[in-house]
Structure 1
Amino acid sequence: MAGHLLKPDSMFAFLAAHRRELFPEAMFADLFPSGRGRPSVPAEVMASVITLQALHGLSDNETVDAVTFDLRWKAACGLPVTAAAFHSTTLTYWRRRLAASQAPDRIFEAVKAVVAQTGVLAKKTRRALDSTVLDDAVATQDTVTQLIAAIRRVGRDVPGASTVIAARCTAHDYTDPGKPAIAWNDKTARDHLIDALVGDAHRLLGYLPDQDLGPRAAEAVALLALVAGQDVEPVDGSDGTDGHWQIAQKVAGDRVISTVDPDARHAHKTVARRQDGFKAHVAVEPDTGIITDCVLTKASGPGNHEAVIGLALLADEQAPVRVLGDSAYGTGAARATLAELKHVAVIKPLPQRAAVPGGFTSDDFTIDFEARTVTCPAEHTVRITPSGGARFEKYCRSCPLVTSCTTAARGRKLTISAHEHHLRAARAIARTDEWQTEYRQHRPMVERSIAWLTRGNRKVRYRGVTKNNHWLHHRAAALNLRRLITLGLTHNGNTWAIA
């Protein structure tokens, strides 16, 4: 009744005409191997709904309302106007089925296969890498709240733990859902509470019954051990009293910020911009805005560096490409790997800083990589040690150029990394006009795709890396499909093409 009213270049009109070709029933057959317990909603309809939900950034309840009352959604899903929608838990059911399968991101991969069939990227030889911070769905907790919450969780999930808490943990009534009743403006009272809570956590961990723990219980115990150590440090009693625990003077590098979502982290996208949550990484073809790959990680911590993730996002590239990225992607190891894979790095190098304003930088020193020697601007040559160090101390004492080179009392020292030749070559080529033109023309275009990705979706809806990573892939699939439709995506009966 309403299909003819849809805009011909809209997502709704496209799904109304081609959802069966895009999401065939066989694509989801492995989710229901027994043939029993299969939901009554067809797979093509659920895949279309999941795609539209990700595109419009709706909650499950909002999505069900849209399927029920919005004629565009009904037309896209092929539902009669009078048809009632499914329950919102059906979406949860499908997400869990997908997450537990061998191909949890199959909707993204299906759209990626459409991109390949159209050939829209066939002659596009550039890929831009970037990342953005997404806010988490929970509140950041302070140390007191985390300790109490972690102890309560162990009491709920570990058999016998509640008895230990009742007998040995006295810093707080852990059956009370509120915070401890202390004078919070009294530093001494706060310090005493922290010491007592950490003591309770250690006693609980030490007196837990000997038993094999299931996954949920083991996770609760591990979280308590982590929370009890990440924010505090021991202090020996200087006045003859016993030592105690106090808030640490520095923040742990991989600090858990909430026991509700242990995967959320502090993030510093820039010096002035601080957020808590996750980091979405994308590889984008800059001319079309197509997202070729994506992944969501913790916002900080080991293994989550942009350079490492960026290389993983290029793993499916079948031919060498020109990789554009900011300086976060330009580590020596990343440049060496890109060169080995025959990719061309158009990545902004880190600027060189002189020890003396206007003085010599490390690029003013000549390095002979074969002879492993370094020559300074005053023509003094020293050998590079096995650890990569090069010291000019004996020459700096009488060198007339020392005031333009260093302020160190022991003279100038360089540290030569294993990938120094890649870094030097990158800095040299980045000074050319050709490099500057290409970088300024194509690198900023990735910001357009980042803006599409985060518009109305800066805050994630789920907890944990795994669930939010699946959401990110659904979001990227929806954006790619919308972009292809704008470019003229059509199906000729056998394959996908750009009209």
Structure 2
Amino acid sequence: MTLSRWNPPDTLSAREARIRKRVGKKRKMFGFLCDQRCELFDEEFQAELEQMYRDTGAGKDPVPPALLAMVVLLQSYSKASDSDAVELAACDARWQLVLGCLGSDEAPFSQGALFNFRERLIAHDMDRKLLDRTRELAKRTGAFDYKQLPKKLDVAIDSSPLIGAGRVEDAFNLLAHAAWKVVLCVAELRDRPAELLVDELGIPLLAESSIKKALDIDWSDPVAKNAALNLLLGQIETLEQWVKTNLSSEASKPPLQDQLGLLERLREQDLEPDPKGGGQRIERGVAKDRRVSVEDPDMRHGRKTKTKTFNGYKRHIAVDLGTKLILAVTVASANEPEKDSLPTLVDRLDQQGLELGRMYFDRGYIESSDVPELIADGVEIICKPWRQSNGDKFNKTDFKLDFAKQTVTCPGEQTQPMILGEIARFDADVCNACALKSKCTTSDRGRGLRVAANEPLQAKLRVLQGSAEGRARLRERVPVEHSLAHVSQRQGNRARYLGKRKNEYDLTRAAALVNLQVIQRELESSEVAIAA
């Protein structure tokens, strides 16, 4: 199998030049991609893309991978599906200008080729390399004067919700949906229609398009609801018993094993024994790490605020405040705390060989295990401290914490030793006799003060927030919010794909396009300055 390189012409034809001039006034990204395509996809990067393919000598020659990588960017810019991308490449002169096929009646790739390329891109993490290439392009084009920028980067991190593409279902629908997937799997293994199978087994509920409609009960009646649940569970158990008896070998390996495992997990997360006897009931409260969708295994319940919830993912971005370029991204399930995503972003910054001077982020990231290591490496952390509240009583800011002596002194001048990550206890007798007790505690056992493991950092951040100069430094992170807004506008707030990795690919290409727009604006402003 021979891989051909994408070699768009360096010089535009008369017709291409006319179209390039038109897109220079509106939809400028088409013109920018046309101008920079050879620089963005140089010989070195094309060679890296070619490593995604096996040299077997079999099959048809693939479409040049660099051309398909450009299609990926055009897709994000035009918000086009795979089928739309094929049509645009065949009919839209702007797409043809960028792809170097102006005047062609056929697209230079098929929908299947684009799908397969995306799978390869994700499998080899080359989408992340595409994002890295935009940063390299900024250097090559001279969009920024790097001599005037600090060697060590100031990086800001932020996140926003991404609503999942999978259908969110309650316990009844999740169980019925998962059971139907088992039925479909069994029907395929037995080469029989699924509808005929459920009739033979006497489990008609599992074939219904709407389990709630099929049960047809008063859903406000807890007795009827519980009876309906156990009716559904009875038919699921009938199915499982039949599979165990007739397909024991197939049940121990994929795909049937996976579907049965999913059904069991959903039952464990949503059900509990009925204390009144007589089967199962819906578990009170929400199970930790509860799966909310059958089709998307990575979607979870999440919270943006105490009152605002969503189902899906969180997308995280790291932005260089000097250039406003996005350096790294990641996607996490909605229930994963921000602190769990910081190590991934830091690792990806390290892989690019970037030196960090300061890091700006929200409180949610401050508890990450990477923060002490960053501080030890000389990275300055800029973040708001945790809020301190204790009603009308003294809070932590009213106490004197001496980290050198490892002591804490209360407003009443009682001093006790403190250990990071533990609670400092003050003597009850001293507290009860103190004139300030009514302002400090209602307990007769003395005041307790929780000292966080990162309390020295929290103390520094409280000092930072307490001055006008410090608050101005905190506001330096605002560009990351702007970048996140641009990414949200480009990617949308609803996921295009199922699963974390594919949605991270979508986020990565959106971030790459945002970077290209930043570079384009910088180059335009430089040209205007030179002309002036």
Interval of TM-score (by shorter of Structure 1 and Structure 2): 0.7 to 0.9
1:226 aligns with 2:260: no
CA RMSD of the aligned region, Å?
3.2
For 1:443 and 1:386, locate their aligned partners in 2 and report how far apart those are by CA, in whole Å. Answer: 29
How far apart are 1:188 and its partner, in Å?
A: 2.2
Pairing 1:367-386 to 2, within 5 Å after superposition: 367-369=401-403, 371-384=405-418
Aligned to 2:205: 173
Aligned to 1:411: 446
1:190 aligns with 2:225: yes
Q: Residue 391 of structure 1 is aligned with which of 417, 422, 425?
A: 425
Aligned to 2:7: none
1:97 aligns with 2:120: yes
459-468 or 374-383, larger mean C-alpha shift = 374-383
188-197 or 254-263, larger mean C-alpha shift = 188-197
For 1:31 and 1:385, locate their aligned partners in 2 and report how far apart those are by CA, in whole Å. Answer: 52
Give structure 1 stretches of 5+ with no counterpart.
490-497
Q: Is the 8 A contact 1:139 1:258 kept in 2?
A: yes
How far apart are 1:236 and its partner, in Å?
A: 2.1
How far apart are 1:79 and its partner, in Å?
A: 0.6
Q: Is the 8 A contact 1:144 1:194 kept in 2?
A: yes
1:134 aligns with 2:166: no
Kindly provide the amino acid, as one letter, of the partner of residue 354 in structure 2.
Q
Aligned to 1:21: 39
How far apart are 1:49 and its partner, in Å?
A: 1.0
207-216 or 285-294, larger mean C-alpha shift = 207-216
For 1:395 and 1:101, locate their aligned partners in 2 and report how far apart those are by CA, in whole Å. Answer: 65
Q: Tell me: CA distance 1:403–1:205, structure 2 relative to 1, closer, same or farther (3 Å).
A: farther
1:143 aligns with 2:157: no
How far apart are 1:116 and its partner, in Å?
A: 5.0
Kindly provide the amino acid, as one letter, of the partner of residue 414 in structure 1.
L
The structure with more helix, counted as a fraction of residues: 2
Q: Tell me: CA distance 1:88–1:126, structure 2 relative to 1, closer, same or farther (3 Å).
A: same
For 2:358 and 2:122, locate their aligned partners in 1 and report how far apart those are by CA, in whole Å. Answer: 33
1:328 aligns with 2:391: no
Q: Tell me: CA distance 1:386–1:458, structure 2 relative to 1, closer, same or farther (3 Å).
A: closer
| Aligned sequence identity (%) | 28
Q: Is the 8 A contact 2:127 2:508 kept in 1?
A: no
2-11 or 218-227, larger mean C-alpha shift = 2-11
Pairing 1:478-489 to 2, within 5 Å after superposition: 478-488=513-523
Q: Is the 8 A contact 1:356 1:404 kept in 2?
A: no
Q: Tell me: CA distance 1:273–1:306, structure 2 relative to 1, closer, same or farther (3 Å).
A: farther
How far apart are 1:458 and its partner, in Å?
A: 1.5
Kindly provide the amino acid, as one letter, of the partner of residue 17 in structure 2.
G
200-209 or 190-199, larger mean C-alpha shift = 200-209
Q: Tell me: CA distance 1:268–1:128, structure 2 relative to 1, closer, same or farther (3 Å).
A: same
For 1:423 and 1:383, locate their aligned partners in 2 and report how far apart those are by CA, in whole Å. Answer: 18
How far apart are 1:171 and its partner, in Å?
A: 6.8
Q: Is the 8 A contact 2:324 2:483 kept in 1?
A: yes
1:337 aligns with 2:358: no
Pairing 1:437-476 to 2, within 5 Å after superposition: 437-440=472-475, 442-455=476-489, 457-476=492-511
For 1:281 and 1:412, locate their aligned partners in 2 and report how far apart those are by CA, in whole Å. Answer: 40
Q: Residue 136 of structure 2 is aligned with which of 113, 116, 133?
A: 113
1:4 aligns with 2:15: no
Aligned to 1:350: 386
Kindly provide the amino acid, as one letter, of the partner of residue 31 in structure 1.
M
Q: Tell me: CA distance 1:42–1:350, structure 2 relative to 1, closer, same or farther (3 Å).
A: same
How far apart are 1:166 and its partner, in Å?
A: 5.9
1:281 aligns with 2:304: no
1:60 aligns with 2:60: no
Q: Tell me: CA distance 1:169–1:305, structure 2 relative to 1, closer, same or farther (3 Å).
A: farther
Q: Is the 8 A contact 2:73 2:509 kept in 1?
A: yes
For 2:420 and 2:73, locate their aligned partners in 1 and report how far apart those are by CA, in whole Å. Answer: 55
Q: Residue 53 of structure 2 is aligned with which of 25, 29, 32?
A: 32
SS in 2 for 1:96: helix
How far apart are 1:121 and its partner, in Å?
A: 7.9
Aligned to 2:99: 77
Q: Tell me: CA distance 1:62–1:298, structure 2 relative to 1, closer, same or farther (3 Å).
A: same
For 1:367 and 1:48, locate their aligned partners in 2 and report how far apart those are by CA, in whole Å. Answer: 57
Residue-pair matches, total: 483
Q: Tell me: CA distance 1:228–1:94, structure 2 relative to 1, closer, same or farther (3 Å).
A: same
Cα deviation digits, residues 307-361 of structure 1 (max 9, x gap): 55554454345323211112222227454232022111111111111x232x321
Cα deviation digits, residues 356-386 of structure 1 (max 9, x gap): 32x3211322334455433211111234479
Pairing 1:417-436 to 2, within 5 Å after superposition: 417-436=452-471
SS in 2 for 1:194: helix
Give structure 2 stretches of 5+ with no counterpart.
1-14, 525-529
Cα deviation digits, residues 443-479 of structure 1 (max 9, x gap): 1221111111011521121111111111111111122
Normalising by structure 2, report the TM-score. 0.81
Q: Is the 8 A contact 1:384 1:390 kept in 2?
A: yes
Q: Tell me: CA distance 1:419–1:102, structure 2 relative to 1, closer, same or farther (3 Å).
A: closer
For 2:354 and 2:155, locate their aligned partners in 1 and report how far apart those are by CA, in whole Å. Answer: 13
Normalising by structure 1, report the TM-score. 0.86
472-481 or 376-385, larger mean C-alpha shift = 376-385
Kindly provide the amino acid, as one letter, of the partner of residue 138 in structure 1.
G
For 1:409 and 1:151, locate their aligned partners in 2 and report how far apart those are by CA, in whole Å. Answer: 57
How far apart are 1:64 and its partner, in Å?
A: 2.0
Aligned to 1:365: 399
